[in-house]
A and B are shown apart, each in its own frame.
Chain A
C-alpha cells in the first residue's frame, strides 16, 4: 500500500507510479498539490489536492459589513483584484438599489481592462517560463510595472486596491491618469508585436503547445470552464458580451473565439484579448464624463431580505458573487463562484494520456491562481 506522505509510490501489480507535484513546486504557481499517476512518461490521472491556502474568506465575510467584506476579495484572485471588487460592489448595489454615476461606471471599466492587461501580461511571462524561456518574464513585468505605477497613483495601492466601493469608486481619478494611460497604451501596442515575434512564432514554443491539453467544446461546457480556457475551445461565454454590466454595452469589442481547443488556442485567445482590452480603453479614456465619482449612500448598508447575484468577467473567467441577506448589517451567506476552480477541474481531462513534461505547460495555459481556487 502506498501512503500519501511518500514522495514516490508504486502501485503493486502494475507499472504505474504515483508522484506528488507540489504543494511547494515552482511550476504550480502557488501551493497547489497534484497527485499524479504515471505509467512511464504518460500521465494516467491527475488529482488536485486543495486547501493549502484556504483562508475561509466566505465564512469571514459573514461577520463583516457590506462595505468591509469587499477588501477580502482582493485576496482571492489577486491578479484581477479590481474585477473581484467590482463583482462584490455590483452585488451590493443591486441589493441596495444604488444608481452608480456614469463617471464611476467609466472609471470602473477602464480600471477593469487595465487589470486584465496586467494579469494577461503576467500570465504571458509565466507560460513562457513554464516552457523554458526566461526572457519573456522580464519583458512582461516591464509592461506590468507601468500599469502598477498608474494604479498606485490613482488607487493608492499596487495589487490589493480596494478601489471599487458600493456606489462608485473610492477616489476620483488622478489628474495624470489619462495622460499616463495613453502613454502606456501607445507603448504597449508596439510591445505586443514584440511578444509575437519573441514567443508566438517560436517553433519550440509552438511544438510544446500545439495539440497538447485538448478539450472539446462539449467537455469545456460540462466541466464549467469559463474565460479564455473555454473560449479556446469555441465556447462563447464572455460575460461582458452576454450579460453586459456598466458601460460594456456601449463599447465595441470582439469576443475572441478559437476552435482548436488545445493549449496554443488558449494562448492565442489571451494574446488577442490584450489587443481587445487596449481598444476598449482607447474608446473610453477620452469619453470619461464629468460628475460624481461616488453615489451618496448611507453610512450603514442594510439590504432588504433576499438573494442577490452578480457576475463579471475576470481575467480568468466568470466570477459570480451570491449574497443571501437577512436584512441585517452583515450578510447571512456569501458564495463566490471562482473561475479558477472550474478550470482546474478540467485539468485531469486535458492531461490524461499526455506526457508528464507537458503537464506544466498545459497548467500554464489554464492561468491558475491558487488563492482564487481555495479562497
Chain B
C-alpha cells in the first residue's frame, strides 16, 4: 500500500471526508458507550441534550467554547506560519495574571480597567511567546521544546505568586488571588445567565484574524513563510520579522483566553483556571484545518462534547472520559481525512 498525491481534490473529497470523520467518531463513541454498558443511542442523545438541549445548556457550551476559540485561533495563526506554538497554556496564564494584577492592584474604574486588563494581557502573552521565537529565529532553537517547557515554568511561577504575594488574605489559605471588583468584570450578554462578553470578543477576534489572513500583507507573508520559507526569503519577505509578528499575534490571542476567563467568569486567578485550554486549542485548530472561522465551529464542537458528556455522565452510567476519547478520536479521524484529501491509497 502506498500513497499517491491527488492533483486537484474535488469537493466530494474536501467536504465529504471530514464529514465521514465526524460520522466515524460517532460510531466509535457509540461503541464505547456500549462497552460501558449503556444504550449508545440514549447516551448520544443525552450528550446532545446536555450540550444544546436547553438555553442553559447551550449557553454553558458557548461559555466553554470561549477560551477554546482564543487558544484555537492562537494555534491556528502560529501553525499557518509553521511556528509550532505548543505554549498557548503559558500565554493564557500570562494573560490571566496581568488581568488580575491590573484588576486588583490599580484601583481603576470599570470602564478603564477592562480595556487596560485586556491590553496588558495581550502584551504579556505576546511577550511570553517572543522569547522562544527570538531563540528560534536567531539561534535555531526548536520552539516546540521551548514553548512546551514554558508552560510548566509559567504554572510554577503562578503557583509561587499564589502562595506568596498574590495570595488572597481572605482566601482561607487556598492558593488563589483576590477577585477583581464587580465593575471590572466583563458584562453578561444575556442578563441572568452566565454567558459573558468574552464570547463576543472571541467571535470578533476570529473575524479579525480571518481578515488579517486574507486581506493584509501580513497575512500573505505569514502564509508564504509557512508554505515555503526558502521562496519567501528569496522574494524579499523578511522571514524572521514575520515570525516575530506571528508570535505576537498568537501569544496575544492565547492571553485573551486568560483575560476572558478571569474577567468574564472566575473573577480571580487559581491554578485550575485552565483545564488544558492551551493544549485543547491545538486540537481545535487542527480540527478547523487552521481556518480562523472554522476554529469557532470546532471550538463549539469540542466544547459541546465536553459539556454534553458532563451532563450525560450524571444521567447515565458512562464516565466523562468518553468526552476526552471522543475528541481525541475526532482529531485522529480528521487528520486521516486531511491526509486522504491530498493523497489516495494505492495498492502495491
A complexed with B: no
